[in-house]
Amino acid sequence: MKHSLIIARYGELGLKSPKIRSRFERKLSSNIKASFNCEIDINQARIFIFPENFNEAIFELKKIFGIVSFSPAISTYSNFQDIENTLNIYVDNLVEEGLISSDTPFAIRCRRVGVHDFSSQELAAFAGSVVVKKLGCPVNLTNPKFEIFIEVRDNETYIFHEKIRGPGGLPLGTQGKLISLISSGIDSPVATYLMMKRGCEIIALHFDNNPYTKPKSEEKFDSIIKQLKSYSKGVKFRSRVVNYGDYLKKCKDDAPEKMTCILCKSGMYKIAGKLAKEMNALGIVDGSSVGQVASQTLPNILATREDVDVPILSPLIGMDKVEIERIAKKIGTYDISKEDDGGCSAVPRYPETKADIKRVRKAKNDINQEELINDTFNSIIFKNSEE
């Protein structure tokens, strides 16, 4: 079917004050234009998009935060004669595509904005009669198998039958920057995605644990970053890698073995905090979920974060593995994360699960953590050339 435009809708943006809503609309418009070539008009909580390539636009709009749903549509003038002519053509196309037939129970759903000499109910009845005359199919307003939507806005009328879901949330780039701790596992990419959905610009931080991990881990990280970047059109998605093997060796050699994971996570937070201050980020994101692994028991979460002076956000904290995996599959990171990379050989056989703050502080002193953190921080490398 040859469409005229795409009508996109946003959700919670409409609840903002006029000044904030206008700013968010401009950012959303900018992100859309960065995703594909198009012209855009925003009017009365609708985004009217005129793309050069409709297939590309439909693919990209599914990944643009702030969009709740969108509909490829055709347009006509807001009078019964033009609506009837256009609706007849539209129904012909639906029949050709096998979407509707003479025995398909259908409904017309009308929405009207502006002043007209007909009501929404009158238009729905008229449009329904056009379709019945054309195909003879039965009307079923309660449980239709097919719906045709007609949206009248002043002098323009739009006809469509699809409402394609977008990711929702807030436009990317409206809520400041975050440092996101991203491993090659399932959880941290999902946590990053959820904060992007809340409008946050991401600086990904990965810890290369070589020689305790294999090169496959770094390959997986690169693939995960590529997938997450596909949701970041219009806003830079930057990434950094820390050479973390020497820090881990010091933890294993100079502290109780069972404390290795505690000291590892503590060091990650401290390095992320230093990077946040250097890059004017407002917080840290990680994939913690209470009780999921040894380092994520409540005592261990407290012990690893107790002296970090930057906010740490954990959007998965109350989710179980099934919920997290469902989102990972949806956003395209699950299959990447599930590839076997050998894991981390630095993990002790019996890791600490109920860390005592005093003993953790002593272990930090034993490895001279602050000096180690400074040396390790200087090993950070760029992973792209966007800056």
CB 259 within 8 A of CB 360: yes
* Phi, psi angle pair for 107, to nearest 5°: -145, 150
Q: DSSP string of 117-134?
A: SS-HHHHHHHHHHHHHHH
* CATH fold group of domain 177-382: Rossmann fold (3.40.50)
Domains 5-165 and 177-382 share a fold: no
- pLDDT, residue 44, reads 82
125-141 confidence digits (pLDDT tens): 999 999 999 999 999 99
Please calculate the CA angle 151-152-155 and round it to the nearest 5 degrees.
Answer: 145
Two structure tokens written together for 11:
């959700």
165-183 confidence digits (pLDDT tens): 999 999 999 999 999 999 9
HSE, CB side, 13 Å, CA atoms: give it for residue 68: 8
Q: Give residue 350's identity as a one-letter amino acid code.
A: Y
285-326 confidence digits (pLDDT tens): 999 999 888 778 999 999 999 999 999 999 999 999 999 999
Model-level pTM?
A: 0.93
Please calculate the CA angle 233-224-9 and round it to the nearest 5 degrees.
Answer: 35
363-383 confidence digits (pLDDT tens): 999 999 999 999 999 989 876
Q: Which of 254, 248, 252, 260 is nearest to 295 (CA)?
A: 260
Q: Average per-residue pLDDT in the chain?
A: 93
Domain range annotation of the chain: 5-165, 177-382
Within 10 A of 211 (CB to CB), how many other CB atoms are there?
A: 10
Alpha-carbon distance of 339 to 216, in angstroms, equals 9
73-120 confidence digits (pLDDT tens): 999 999 999 999 999 999 999 999 999 999 999 999 999 988 888 999
- pLDDT, residue 93, reads 95
CB 366 within 8 A of CB 255: yes
Q: Which CATH class is domain 5-165?
A: alpha beta
CB 80 within 8 A of CB 122: no
Instruction: Please report the beta strands in 161-217, taking only residues with DSSP state E, as ranges in sequence order.
Output: 164-165, 177-181, 201-208
Q: Which of 97, 150, 153 is nearest to 123 (CA)?
A: 150
* Phi, psi angle pair for 157, to nearest 5°: -125, 140
Q: Looking at the DSSP assignment, which residues form a beta bridge with residue 303?
A: none
